[in-house]
Structure 1
């Protein structure tokens, strides 16, 4: 009887060990070499990336030419594929071109820094069957040609998990977890040239408006016509910039600087109106004094407010 007991225990131990061995997923070594990041489109919330992708694995059931998925891509062009072997393992190399979805952070545009991520999965095998192991040594980006006008920082490849809270039609399963291979990087730019290009129209509009302080307070037409013309120019500049940026519910640097400009132009009209009122009542000296002090307050306040907004965006 004791022999049967030991035999059953041994059988259970072997079965448990075998089951645990069966649950060990296959590992796939995966790496990437980023060729270029281009066609960055803020308005359509997308960009294009070209990169080499390679897989080294043992399991013959893995066919990445058919099972590859990039969930955060808008479009994936059919890749060029090379299949070979290295050190007795299957070796698949793919040249990829993808149009990626991206939620751009334009809070500090054009002094913005963006985080890009390409998430790669096997669409057929979850993490019970397949786990990605990143090739940290071989994964790189082309430092000369990768991206124009931006600098790539914090480039990294890493393995993560993606949870799907569904059984995809299998009522016995409440969810699945897939291993992912992520290509991640931060990009930033020296934006002073772009800053001057997009805001030069706004600042010229403000200069046009403050020219109205130079005529005598009695000169009605230039005192009120110039600020109104500058206001329309600033509004037009705002619409032009907004056309290249995505819709945002937050108050961005672009919104802040234009709001300062609109308010400053309004204050030039207020100063002119007060000076004109004093002049019409025969208080010419008071009108000139209001014009002189008001103009200085408007100009200094506008410059100071712009400097603070830009400095905060640069932090």
Structure 2
């Protein structure tokens, strides 16, 4: 009889023993999380990724068997923990990790090269749901190196936040009332703005020169048909080549970007130049030299004014 009672007691003990990180009295355990960004680099628009190195630390109440299991970066293509330290502070466990990660990034290229990007570094706890564990941000001190420089970019804003990552599945756990799961999430939000003017002129100088070459044809006598038509045709090929060069640095996108707008405008204006050159030549052949010259002057003012206005408006809207 004593042996039976002992076995029953042992069974109740094993079944009722709480997980070290389980919620007590329906209150989830709280883990304070902080970060310190060391670097942001290797921005790759074609592969849609960038690389970051940062310190991450956690203050917790319970021991951790395997610290690397405490975190997951769901948006990382790959990440590596370069350094790990564990200690105790004021009776709490302290875990510090140095992480290098290649992060996925959906670049917003609508206003390229005057674009502004928001980088999000998401860190989740993959073991315990929010009923058992939540994150709170450690906002004491700086969250990134004040000397941090991102080549070609300026850091516009930086803030950290915590929340929950929602999944519309219970991952096979049929004890859940709903096939849903929520896990603690720590998010680093970094907004960067490109220092764009130098890049803009480097990228678009070829396009503007191509248009200028085409525009010069308005000042050539229509009787000289070869240079009158040869210049805009050459300018058109130069503009198309410039467009292909820029596109080679960018991923494919269905969004109409400022690159598409300005190059499309250049193609249309060069076609207009060629079309009205043909009209001017026809008028000159018919002996209407004055009308031909008037056509050249009028169309030159219209084409130049429209081209300049659309360029200025497009750039100002992108800034």
Size of the alignment, in residue pairs?
296
Aligned position for 1:249: 254
Does residue 276 (structure 1) correspond to residue 288 (structure 2)? The answer is: no
- Measured in 2, the distance between the counterparts of 1:231 and 1:44 equals 30
The answer on 1:54 being equivalent to 2:72 is: no
Aligned partner of 2:17 in structure 1 is: none
Measured in 1, the distance between the counterparts of 2:174 and 2:33 equals 32
Instruction: Flag the 1:72–1:31 CA change in 2: closer, same or farther, 3 A.
Output: same
Correspondence for 1:114: 117
Q: 1:3-48 CA distances to partner (integer Å, 9 max, x unpaired)?
A: xxxxxxxxxxxxxxxx984321111111000001111111211111
Secondary structure at the aligned position of 1:123 is classed as strand
Indicate conservation of the 8 Å contact 2:36/2:56, yes or no. Answer: yes
1:236, distance to aligned residue in structure 2 (A): 0.9
Structure 2 residue 263 is the aligned partner of structure 1 residue 262: no
1:87 and 2:90 are equivalent in the alignment: yes
Moved over 6 A (4+): none
1:178 pairs with 2:146: no
1:193 Cα deviation after fit: 0.9
Q: CA deviation at 1:292?
A: 1.6
Distance across 1 between alignment mates of 2:161 and 2:293: 68
Structure 1 residue runs without a partner (length 5+): 1-18
Task: Give the aligned partner of residue 214 of structure 2.
Answer: 209
Q: 1:164 aligns with which of 129, 151, 167?
A: 167
Q: Is the 8 A contact 1:31 1:138 kept in 2?
A: no
TM-score, structure 2 normalization: 0.89
Tell me, in whole angstroms, the C-alpha distance in 1 between the residues paired with 2:208 and 2:149. 34
Q: Check conservation: 2:81, 2:98, Cα contact below 8 A.
A: no
The answer to whether 1:294 aligns with 2:299 is yes
TM norm structure 1: 0.90
Q: Over aligned residues, Cα RMSD in angstroms? A: 1.5
Distance in 1 (CA, whole Å) between partners of 2:114 and 2:98 is 32
